[in-house]
Chains A and B, each alone.
Chain A
Amino acid sequence: MKKPVLSLKNIKVNFDTMDGKVEAVKGANIQVNAGETIAIVGESGSGKSQMMMAAMGLLAANGKATGECEFEGRNLLAMGKAELNTIRGRKISMIFQEPMTSLDPLYTIGNQLMEPIKHHLKFDAAAARKRAIEMLELVKIKEPERRMRSYPHEMSGGQRQRVMIAMALANNPELLIADEPTTALDVTIQAEILELMADLQHRLGMAMIFITHDLGIVKRIAKRVYVMRKGEVVEEGDTKAIFANPKHEYTKALLEAEPTGRKAPPVAGAPVILSGEDIQVTFKIGGGFLGSPPIELKAVDHVSVSLKQGQTIGIVGESGSGKSTLARALLRLLPSRGALNFNGQAITGFDKQTMRPLRKQLQVVFQDPFGSLSPRMTAGQIITEGLIVHEPAMSAAARDARAVQALEEVQIDPALRNRYPHEFSGGQRQRLAIARAIILKPKVVVLDEPTSALDRQVQKQIVDLLRDLQKAYNLSYLFISHDLAVVRAMADHIMVMKDGKLVEQGTPDEVMLKPKQDYTRRLMAAAFAS
């Protein structure tokens, strides 16, 4: 039983870049046995994906791999393309992180599923079609016959990932490599896909390598785990043993990075700072000259919010549930119906001009720390830009002093303020975005997935920072996230949204431990299954 399917021995992967040679993997050893599921865990840039890409011959043109990838007594790295193609898609197959783009948009699902079956098993069209439909049934796609004629864009991300799994398993491979297969999916879909993969592994008996950054997934799916950092395997062994008793410092840090703690509710009698009653936002889709009338989409459907001073409301829900739209409507960043109130003043129907004096008290931090900072401005210019608008009388020296103060508050060395955004890491950039918001001394800050693009460890630091700032300035947060572990640590009130409607709300304990609605229950089960 302990026969290895694939053993990677002393794998090194180098990339030739403009800045010289970059070593992505520095001599890693990994082994997966027949019928076994292992996980390779590490943060972005740890080399975990590139190592498996190298084994599959999928490295970018500037990449080069050395070492040995032994499969059935042969070294994959020494094979020519023709020989490798008798193994790829036949005996080893791979699925990827991006279900939305991993299928060819120009061919039907059936066409794409049948192609590798015909190619490797030499089936005729009728037999390949039969096999493809079987596979779609196996991955629980409804109406497989009809779906054979669908194009990828007619399917959701979860369905596309199911099709990818069907394609990968159609030729009965001995090994399936899954590179972050659920990362791009909503949390409930994530749980379904994981369950499906575990079930298929059990039924078909292939070995599985699961590449992930999510320790929850590791715990749920893998018997053995390899922890990678900076191109090296720092720890390996039985998953349970490692979770119970991590040896390497890095593994310990990774395990401790889960955000902890709870937020106390705001003091009794705290005034309501921002509220919206019965908010509705509709978008028009389509329509136009000589066209059919536009379709109205209700992005936010009669939702009321009341944010008290010092409170953090967590808004959770899957993508497309309307949580960001709701926050934008509350800040009057987009037109909406329903009464809005800020700091005792009715702001219903306020336009750009009338909102401007209030903007400094209503700040936003966005998800993408890369896209939301202008690449052509220095950190100092970025964070003081708001001051120039809202406090034009302030002298340059005074502005600079405020910038220094704000940077110190977000724990960035103020000496770095003349650098450009690309010289900062993702976490530092998110700190800059926070500094840009708090320098204006706002009352309300909307945090739109502020930690979602960050690694777990960095995430924890940002959560701590946000909590400290809240205490120091009695800030009120609207915290939008699909990551329930972070919301639990940050919010004292949670609103669950689905399809633009408010499904359920309450304290974290009420919502997470005793969910009343079926949807909330599924959401919690998916997030905290481990």
Chain B
Amino acid sequence: MLRYVLKRLLVAIPTLFVIITISFFLMHIAPGGPFNMEKGIPPEIKANIERVFHLDEPVLSQYLRYLNNLIHGDLGPSYVILNFSVAELFAKSLPVSLWIGSLAMLFSLVAGCAMGVVAALRHNGLIDYIVVTLATAGSTIPTFVTAPLIQLVFGLTFHWIWIGGWHEGALAALIGPVITLALPQLATVARLMRGAMIEALHTNHIRTAKAMGLSDYSIVIRHAMRGALLPIASYAGPAAAGLLTGSIIVESIFQIPGIGRSFIDGALNRDYTMVMGTVIIIAVFTIVFNLVSDILYAVIDPRVRYD
């Protein structure tokens, strides 16, 4: 198993390299640059600034310079938020996104699995229909609709939550973005869990458990649910990578200073180093959480062995 993990991490290095290379050149193909202001600045000043940041060099040597810095752990300075390095900016925004993302993931997994199991046990019953309806709604209604609705109802009408801002991570500020982020995931998890449970409850080994007179708890939780968690494990890894690296829409609507916003701001302002930094973070999270998914899969199912 350890060998397998090391092997996967080793394969991740060339993968990352390809991602970095493609993103770097794609970004430089896009017209404009970080210092092309609307009003324009005197050309000699612009040239000066560009020389300081080596933007006057050919793209290839900029690329090699970036790679060299990256290998030494330097993500470079931000071109837009001056006097700050990308690493310093991430130190502030990444924890915010991670915190909101993990809360949303936790909530959607726990609530989604519970809903899925209950629906499967009442297959074709009233609760099942309610869960299916909610799950369909959750997957189809976009976050830019649910977020303002939550702000309107719970913020403006009942005054239970902040409608925006970070407020040092206060609970009232977290609820809105966490729920908004969690809803679509929760819906998918519930749907997956329901399907997997219905299937699991019809397997022959569940029939054996019933024939042996085991308790409902053992049949549902110990025998059916463990198997039904397999598709959840495959889904949760990539989903977690997406949630933890911030959501542009949710962070914009709730005015959360997370990494999702720095990505979109960076891209719009041609803040090259900021965009590259975000791409690397998202890539690393995606690779790591896919690996976590695969490991979880093997932990649940002894038939899966990596070596």
Q: Taking beta carbons and an 8 Å cutoff, which residues of A are in contact with B?
A: 56-58, 61, 81, 84-90, 93-94, 96, 98, 101-108, 115-116, 119-120, 151, 153, 164, 167-168, 290, 292
Residue of A57, A86, A103 near B210 (CB, 8 A) is A57
Q: Which A residue sits closest to B7, measured CB to CB? A: A290
Q: Does B207 contact A (CB under 8 A)?
A: yes
Counting chain B CB atoms within 10 Å of each CB, the highest count among A88, A104, A107 belongs to A104
Complex contacts, B223 vs chain A, CB 8 Å: 104, 106-107
Residue of B11, B210, B226, B302 near A58 (CB, 8 A) is B210
9 A-B contact pairs sorted by A residue (CB < 8 Å): A57-B210, A88-B213, A89-B212, A89-B213, A102-B208, A104-B205, A151-B303, A168-B212, A290-B7
B204 touching A106, Cβ below 8 Å? no
**Considering the chains assembled together, what is the distance between the CA atoms of A501 and B155 in angstroms?**
77
A105 touching B205, Cβ below 8 Å? yes
Complex contacts, A94 vs chain B, CB 8 Å: 211
Q: Known contacts A101-B203, A164-B208, A290-B7; is A106 also within 8 Å of B213 by CB?
A: no
Q: Does B209 contact A (CB under 8 A)?
A: yes
Q: Does B33 contact A (CB under 8 A)?
A: no
Q: Known contacts A101-B205, A290-B7; is A58 also within 8 Å of B211 by CB?
A: yes
**Considering the chains assembled together, what is the distance between the CA atoms of A61 and B227 in angstroms?**
21
Q: Taking beta carbons and an 8 Å cutoff, which residues of B are in contact with A?
A: 7, 11, 123, 203-205, 207-216, 218, 222-223, 226-227, 300-303, 307
**Considering the chains assembled together, what is the distance between the CA atoms of A119 and B213 in angstroms?**
9
**Considering the chains assembled together, what is the distance between the CA atoms of A167 and B205 in angstroms?**
12
**Considering the chains assembled together, what is the distance between the CA atoms of A84 and B212 in angstroms?**
10
Complex contacts, B212 vs chain A, CB 8 Å: 88-89, 93, 115-116, 119, 167-168
Identify whether the interface residues of A are mostly helix, strand, loop, or mixed. loop
**Considering the chains assembled together, what is the distance between the CA atoms of A85 and B210 in angstroms?**
8
Q: Which A residue sits closest to B124, measured CB to CB? A: A61
Q: Known contacts A103-B208, A104-B205, A164-B208; is A87 also within 8 Å of B302 by CB?
A: no
Q: Known contacts A104-B205, A290-B7; is A89 also within 8 Å of B303 by CB?
A: no
A115 touching B213, Cβ below 8 Å? no
User: What's the minimum C-beta distance from B189 to chain A, rounded to whole angstroms?
Assistant: 20
Q: Which B residue sits closest to A164, measured CB to CB? A: B208
Inter-chain pairs besides A89-B211, A115-B214, A151-B303, 6 sampled, C-beta below 8 Å? A81-B216, A88-B210, A88-B211, A101-B203, A105-B302, A106-B302
B226 touching A119, Cβ below 8 Å? no
A98 touching B213, Cβ below 8 Å? no
A119 touching B218, Cβ below 8 Å? yes
B226 touching A90, Cβ below 8 Å? no
Residue of B204, B213, B302 near A151 (CB, 8 A) is B302
B213 touching A104, Cβ below 8 Å? no
Complex contacts, A58 vs chain B, CB 8 Å: 207, 210-211
User: What's the minimum C-beta distance from B228 to chain A, rounded to whole angstroms?
Assistant: 11
Q: Which B residue sits closest to A170, measured CB to CB? A: B212
User: What's the minimum C-beta distance from A277 to chain B, rounded to whole angstroms?
Assistant: 40
User: What's the minimum C-beta distance from B148 to chain A, rounded to whole angstroms?
Assistant: 43
**Considering the chains assembled together, what is the distance between the CA atoms of A152 and B263 in angstroms?**
49
